[in-house]
Structure formats: structure tokens, C-alpha cells
Amino acid sequence: MKAFEATNKFLRGAMRRMDLTDHIQDLLIQPQRCVKVKVVVELDSGDVASYMGFRTQHNNARGPFKGGLRFHPTVDEDHSNSLASLMSWKAAVADIPYGGAKGGINCNPKHLTVGELEKICRKFVEQVHDVIGPTQDIPAPDVNTGAREMAWMMDQYSKLESFSPGVVTGKPLDLFGAEGRSEATGRGVWITATEALKRKGREVDGTTFVIQGFGNVGSYAAKFIQDTGGKVICVSDVNGGIYNPEGLDIDALIAHRKKSGTVVDFPGVDQVSNEDLLLLETDVLIPAALGHVFTAENARDVKASIIVEGANGPTMPDADEIFDEREILVVPDILANAGGVICSYFEWVQNMQYFRWDLEHTRDQLDKRLKKAFDVVYDVAVKKKVSMRSAAFIVAIGRVGKATVLRGV
């Protein structure tokens, strides 16, 4: 099943519960536009390379398009459509005034120099500058992109249009970025995990966690979990996972990874694969890497009682049905990892006002918004006797649908 098809299966299930007609379903599901461009650059070797860039703009009924740009060989139109759709519903669940967009370039940054990456960023902006902008479509970091790439893109857009710090979010602090943006998605995962545990009558303190992925999201989530008494017993990166049933020292692990570039050679641990990691005994399981890791083949063997989706689209529809049947509480991606887009909204607001918040204020506002969103989704799930994923989509579809009708079809 392709990515956009999987997303739409979740959507149509929620829409049928809401008794929406097929015409309204199609109106809300199909993206408004997908821009596909060729990005041609001269490499340091003198060779000419070309890559395909994508930007899907799904829905802007509630505000400007918003979403990340990833650099990865698997980037294509299908994945862009799926992730843009998820962004629309994520922004609506978080109740921030954005629509959804997503995209990227099908390159492999590991095979490119810093200079070549900068050329690719600037060439891509040259190709799409007429369809992005601070009140039109606001890109942000995603897989294999970060503050550095956003700085290049902001600079290139400003050269082509005008000074516009709000054209992208996730920028460096010294270039109109926001305090707390880098930690926001991981902090949001920790907040929603904490709220999920409360509904089970538990606290983070003394609870075991397994985290697939130790990049920006996974490492920050692990840090916040450790600081509030949780025990992270396993983490992984693209090279594999490490396991210690007594708990990992997250501060030492972050320092080790920064020095060596990976977690797998951390001392005093057992090795585990990314696949087997998902089946370990743990209270909370956090997929925080790429999508589609839970399938019908492994869902019945998952031993966690709570899953918090730090990654986008980690659960396939067949697996989600199994989790629901097994009464595993799944905090869906459009709620669990919404901390990033919420803090991106804060950064955009500050850019538009030429004003900066401090870290304490950012964290306070982020925590309040995520806890409120969790309460709303959980209450709908209980009231309608549906999963939290269905409840999150019901909340989001209701908000987007109402905005669409009010604006006039």
C-alpha cells in the first residue's frame, strides 16, 4: 500500500463515521496542487547532476500552507501528497492557523558536499519561489534538513523577492530562529506520552521506554523522559539499536553520538536490530524514525501498552486495526509530533512581528497547546468509542471542513 493510499484509508474511515458524502470526502482528501521541478546543479567534480524536487500543497482553508522539506532518495510525489495531507490535519488538531504542505528533493545528502547542498537548496528556491512565501506556503526542516538549509533558503528567497524571515521556519537562532524550535517535536512527544500515561493512571517516573530513532526527535524526547524519571532502555539509529534493561544514560549517549556519529558502539549495551527493537518488552514504544514500521506482520507481537508516534506515518492501516483490537493506546502522529509545527507557528509569529520570545514562554505556550489538543482528542475518543487516531482525524476534519464551508466552496 502506497503512503498516500494509507493516509486516505485512515481519513475515509473517520469521514464515514462523520457521514460525509463522497463528494465532500474527495474535496478534503485531494491536494490543491503538487509542484514538480528539476533541480540541476554543477557538482564540485565538475559533473552536472539533476534531482527532482516536489512541493505538495494540500489544503489552505485554515491558513497558509505549512510543512517540511526533506532530502532523501525516496522523496516522490506520493510521499509528498501523503505527508502534506497529514500536515493539514496536524495543524487542525493543534488548532493553529495553517494548512498542510510537504515536499523535498530526491537526493542523498550523505553523497554531497556542503557546497553542493547549498547549491541544491538555492536552485530549488529559484524554482518554487513563486508558490511559497510567508503568507502563502512556509517550508520547514524535515528528514536530513535543518537550520542550515533553512538559512540558505530564506536568504535565496529574500534575494528573489524581498527581506522575508518568515518564509521558512526552523532557522538558526542568529538568523531569526526561535528559542525552543529544535527541541519542540521531541518535547511534544514527551508531553503527549506523559498525558497518555496519566490516562492509564501512571507517571513517566519509573516507566520504561523504547525509542526507534535517535535523531532530533528521538534524542530530545529521550532527554526529557530521563529528566522526569523515565527509564529509556533502548534507542536506535540507521545503523541499529542498543539495549540495556537497566536504562541508558541519555546525556552520555548524546555526547557519544555527537563524537562518533552513531549510537551502536556505545559501551555496556546489547545490540538489537531496528526491527526487533519494536518487539521488546516495554511500557511505552516511540517510533521516531521513518514511516511504515508497523505492519500486519509485526503488530501482534508488539508488547508495549502505549505507542506514541514521533515519526510521520509509522503505522499501516492493517497494523492500526490490530492495535485497536488489542486495546493498545496509540497516540497518532498528527497529535504526538505536532510540537514541531506548533513551535514553527511561534517562530513565524515572531518573524511577522519582528519580536522574540524567550525559551520559558515558548515552552509554556507549547505545553498548554499540546495538552489542550490531547484533552480534546481523548475526550472525543472516549465519547465516540473510537481510537485516538480516529478521534484526532474527526476533530481535524471537522475544523477544516467548517473553514472550507465558511469560506465558500
Rounded Cα–Cα distance for residues 72 and 55 (Å) = 14
CA dist., res. 166 & res. 51, Å (int): 26
User: What is the phi/psi pair of residue 312, to 5°?
Assistant: -90, 125
φ and ψ of 239, to 5 deg: -85, -10
Which set of grid coordinates corresponds to residue 381? 475518543
Compute how many other C-beta atoms are within 10 angstroms of the C-beta atom of residue 324: 16
Residue at grid coordinates 538559512:
151
Chain Cα centroid distance, residue 307: 15
Cell numbers of 356, please? 522574540
- Burial (CB count <10 Å: 0-12, 13-18, 19+), residue 117: buried
Q: Which residues are catalytic?
A: 102
Alpha carbons 230 and 285: distance in angstroms, whole number: 13
Residue 200, Cβ neighbours under 10 Å: how many? 13
Reduced to 3 states (helix: H, G, I; strand: E, B; else coil), residue 323 is: helix
Cell numbers given for 71: 532530502
